[in-house]
Structure 1
Amino acid sequence: MFVPVLPTQRDKSHTHTQRLYLNIADQLSALIQSQNMNPGHRLPAERDLALQFDVSRQTVREALIALEVSGSVEIRPGSGVYVLKSDRIKNSLLLEDAPGPFEIMEARLLIEGEAAALAAQRISNEELLKLKTYLNQMSKLVEQNQIKEAELFDGKFHQLIAHASRNSAIFTMVEWLWALRESSEISRLFTEKVRQHGANPNIKAHEELYQMLSRRDSEGARKVMHEHLSQVTETYALSLAD
Structure 2
Amino acid sequence: MSSYGPATGTGSPERRSLSNDLAMAVATMIHDESLQPGDQLESVKTLAGRFQVAVPTMREALRRLEAMGGVNLRHGSGVYVGENVRRMVLPNPLSPKPTGDQLIELLEARRQIEPPIAALAATVRSPDGIDLLVDTLDEARRCISGHDDRLWLVNLNFHRTIATTGGNTILAEVLDSIVFIHAEEQREILRLHGDEERDFDEHRRITELIVDGDVNAARQAMEEHLDNVLRIVRERLSRES
Please, what TM-score do these two structures have when normalized by structure 2? 0.54
Shift in Å at residue 177 of structure 1? 1.4
Is the 8 Å Cα contact of residues 111 and 170 (structure 1) preserved in structure 2?
A: no
Runs of 4+ residues over 6 Å off in structure 1? 4-8
**1:195 match:** 191
Change (3 A) 1:240 1:211: same
Is the 8 Å Cα contact of residues 91 and 180 (structure 2) preserved in structure 1?
A: no
Instruction: Please say if 1:158 is aligned against 2:164.
Output: no
Shift in Å at residue 6 of structure 1? 8.9
**2:225 match:** 228
Is the 8 Å Cα contact of residues 209 and 221 (structure 1) preserved in structure 2?
A: yes
CA distance in 2, matches of 1:194, 1:133: 20
Of the candidates 143, 146, 169, which is equivalent to residue 144 of structure 1?
146
**1:127 match:** 129
* CA distances 1:5-44 after superposition (whole Å, capped 9, x unpaired): 8997xxxxxxxxxxxxx9xxxxxxxxxxxxxxxxxxxxxx
CA distance in 2, matches of 1:140, 1:179: 22
Letter in 1 for 2:155: D
Shift in Å at residue 4 of structure 1? 8.5
CA distance in 2, matches of 1:233, 1:5: 24
Letter in 2 for 1:200: E
Shift in Å at residue 220 of structure 1? 0.8
Question: Aligned-residue CA RMSD in angstroms?
Answer: 3.0
Instruction: Please say if 1:179 is aligned against 2:180.
Output: yes
CA distance in 2, matches of 1:158, 1:122: 16
Change (3 A) 1:192 1:104: closer
Is the 8 Å Cα contact of residues 116 and 162 (structure 1) preserved in structure 2?
A: yes
How many pairs are equivalent? 151
The structure showing larger relative contact order (alpha-carbon pairs under 8 Å, at least 6 residues apart) is 1
CA distance in 2, matches of 1:226, 1:193: 17
CA distance in 2, matches of 1:177, 1:163: 15
Change (3 A) 1:173 1:145: same
Letter in 2 for 1:169: I
**1:240 match:** 237
Gaps of at least 5 residues in structure 2 are 1-83
CA distance in 2, matches of 1:116, 1:131: 12
Is the 8 Å Cα contact of residues 160 and 176 (structure 2) preserved in structure 1?
A: yes
* CA distances 1:112-141 after superposition (whole Å, capped 9, x unpaired): 100000111112223212211111110121
Of the candidates 203, 206, 215, which is equivalent to residue 203 of structure 2?
206
**1:169 match:** 170
Gaps of at least 5 residues in structure 1 are 9-21, 23-61, 67-99
